[in-house]
Amino acid sequence: MHTQTLAELARGLAAGAFSSRELTEALLARIQAHDGALNSFITVTPERALAQADAADAARARGEYGALTGLPIAHKDIFCTQGVKTSCGSKMLDRFVAPYDATVVAKLDAAGMVMLGKTNMDEFAMGSSNESSWYGPVRNPWDVRAVPGGSSGGSAAAVAARLLPAATGTDTGGSIRQPAALCGITGLKPTYGRVSRWGMIAYASSLDQGGPLARTAEDCALLLGAMAGFDARDSTSAGAPVPDYRAGLEAGLDGLRIGLPKEYFGAGLDAGVARAVEAAIDEYRRLGADVVEVSLPNAQLAIPAYYVIAPCEASSNLARYDGVRFGHRCEAPRDLVDLYTRSRAEGFGAEVQRRILVGTYALSAGYYDAYYLKAQQIRRLIHEDFRRAFEHCDLIAGPTTPDVAFDLGEKADDPVALYLADIYTVAVNLAGLPALSHPVGDKGGRPVGLQLIGPAFAEARLLNAAHRFQLATDWHRRAPQGFA
Ligand code: GLN
């Protein structure tokens, strides 16, 4: 059962080949057997899962079921889950039990999904390797010496290792797409506003967006349909109706115009990754797509702009963790200032502290114009780049990451080297666009991902393209050794 996708499992449940309880028990056993090697879960919730599975089986017996009833999911530990620890990968929230469910969690619950647990992540979603988690790093199932990517690394590793078919993630600058690429699975970052941020612990609110990680585009389509939609509790939630993302999956790609930004194929791109990406583009040509060159002239400004804007927003969002209203409180504070400073110094890890310092500095009087305002101006230019590029193409394609997964510890002492892992992903968040990564090859046994970027609300187009690719190829079916 563990090798099947959500769509396949749904057919098995419908045919009565197995029950949700049997499926849930099998996957819980698999998590128990294999997660010691990966550390992809922070919390496993067997009792809640079995209760949800029984409820799903009972609902099905009554004839009340939908496409996702009884199917398993895990949530990145950034999504609040009522009655279950929601740590955000941080000591700061190690003892936080959310009093409510995030909208995404509530929606997937209402769709009948069975939550198996909460997945490991970089602390407060800051990172590209999952090494900043207070709960220890996650390992990449393709090679346990390698990082799984981040910040949704636990979700990506668990899905790649077939511990379960799908998980949620969030993407502020690449945190769904980059770990999907490094773990050889499919991940979709929706258009900003498409999926509610309510109950999703805030990192950089103008960039954060939740989305699905699964092995196939078809499964991402199923999940997005249930996750997306207007939410009055999120002031930036989009009102656009949610299409049936599965309806358009099978459409042919004849005449689809795919733009290749020349800036994404220059210096800095590993040759092995470039070869796999070019082979994938050739496959898209065979499927009927027309490939054109486009330009994103401000691409090189995306990282510097992102690493001003994201820390600025983070420094503001994380001000609430003061040991009084939220978060870890130090022992025996001498006075109020000691309580604040020691609680925050003890509760936050090094990378989070670095971001708070950078953000506070960039927002301070006298520096605001030079950094934050400048970064916002660049953000507008990047948005314009994409707008112009989409006058010549329907989708943009390129590598998701400049190289395959690196070794644990390899970039741990060099934050800037780590920030460059996001070079092809952060611009998409700055522009608020949807993008998807799907597996297209490997280098030395470590997966390569192709990134497809669409205009706002073109998720169906991205999913359609990736699904057709997956019908014609089998990269998404390959399993890491030891986890087949
Ligand atoms: N790696 C990027 C960062 O550290 C992106 C993280 C994310 O998308 N949450 O900010």
| Ligand 1 centroid – CA 310 distance (Å) | 8
310 lines ligand 1 (CB under 6 A): yes
Predicted confidence (pLDDT) per residue in 329-383, tens digit? 999 999 999 999 999 999 999 999 999 999 999 999 899 999 999 999 999 999 9
State how far the Cα of 448 lies from the Cα of 441, in Å rounded to an integer. 5
pLDDT of residue 416: 86
Does ligand 1 have an atom closer than 6 angstroms to the CB of 119? no
φ/ψ bin of 15: left (φ > 0), alpha (ψ from -120 to 50), beta (otherwise): alpha
Could you write out the DSSP letters of every residue in 141-208?
A: TTBTTB---SSSHHHHHHHHTTSSSEEEEE-SSSTTHHHHHHHT-EEEEPPTTSB--TTBPPSSTTT-
Q: Inter-axis angle of helices 20-38 and 153-160, to 10 degrees?
A: 110
53 within ligand 1 shell (Cβ under 6 A): no
For ligand 1, mutation pick of 123, 175, 207 (most atoms within 8 Å of CB): 175
pTM of the model: 0.98
How far is it, in rounded angstroms, from Cα 291 to Cα 33?
Answer: 45
Is 359 near ligand 1, meaning CB less than 6 Å away?
no
**How far, in Å, CA of 30 to CA of 35, rounded?**
8
CB of 210 within 6 A of ligand 1: the answer is no
Strands 186-189 and 257-261: unpaired
Structure tokens at 294: 């486009």
pLDDT in tens, 253-296: 999 999 999 999 998 999 999 999 999 999 999 999 999 999 99
CA 254 to ligand 1 centroid distance, Å: 35
Q: Domain segments of the chain: what residues?
A: 6-256
The set of residues, in sequence order, having a beta carbon less than 8 Å from that of 345 and lying 6+ positions away, is 353
Q: Judge whether 19 counts as a catalytic residue.
A: no
- Please check whether residue 248 is in contact with residue 117, taking contact to mean a CB–CB distance below 8 angstroms: no
Determine whether 175 is an active site residue.
Answer: yes
Catalytic choice (20, 151, 237, 315): 151
187 lines ligand 1 (CB under 6 A): no
Choose, from 76, 107, 118, 411, the residue flagged as catalytic. Answer: 76
Predicted pLDDT at 415: 86
User: Would you state the pLDDT for residue 81?
Assistant: 98
Ligand 1 contact, 125 CB (< 6 A): yes
Q: Please indicate whether residue 126, judged by its CB atom, sits closer than 6 Å to ligand 1.
A: yes
Nearest to 189 by CA among 207, 210, 161, 159: 210
- pLDDT computed for residue 303 by the predictor: 96
Distance 61 CA to ligand 1 centre (A): 43
DSSP 90-134: SGGGTT-B-SS--HHHHHHHHTT-EEEEEE--SGGG--SSSTT-T
Residues of the chain predicted below pLDDT 50? none
The dihedrals phi and psi of 35, each to the nearest 5 degrees, come to: -75, -15
H or E element at residue 440: strand 435-443
Of all residues in the chain, what percent are helix, strand and coil, respectively (each to 5)? 40, 15, 45
pLDDT on residue 297? 98
* 118 is an active site residue: no
C-alpha 460 – ligand 1 centre gap (Å): 25
How far apart are the CA of 426 and the centre of ligand 1, in A? 8
| Residue 415, ligand 1, Cβ within 6 A | no
Residue 172 Cβ contacting ligand 1 at under 6 Å: yes
Domain range 6-256, its CATH number among 3.40.367.20, 3.40.190.10, 1.10.260.40, 3.90.1300.10: 3.90.1300.10
| C-alpha radius of gyration, the chain, whole number | 21
Which atom of ligand 1 lies closest to the CA of 127? 4
Say what the pLDDT of residue 20 is: 98
- In the reported structure, the alpha carbon of residue 173 is separated from the centroid of ligand 1 by a whole-number distance in angstroms of 5
Q: Report CA(49)–ligand 1 centroid distance (Å).
A: 30
| DSSP character string of 8-39 | HHHHHHHHTSS-HHHHHHHHHHHHHHHHHHH-
| Distances in whole angstroms, Cα of residue 77 to Cα of each of 15, 44, 146, 154, 283 | 33, 11, 22, 9, 36
Distance 216 CA to ligand 1 centre (A): 23
Residue 169 Cβ inside 6 Å of ligand 1? The answer reads: no
175, 196, 343, 437: which one is catalytic? 175
Strand ranges, E, within 171-314: 186-189, 210-214, 257-261, 290-294
Strand, coil or helix: what is 53? helix
Question: Atom 5, ligand 1: which residue's CA is nearest?
Answer: 173
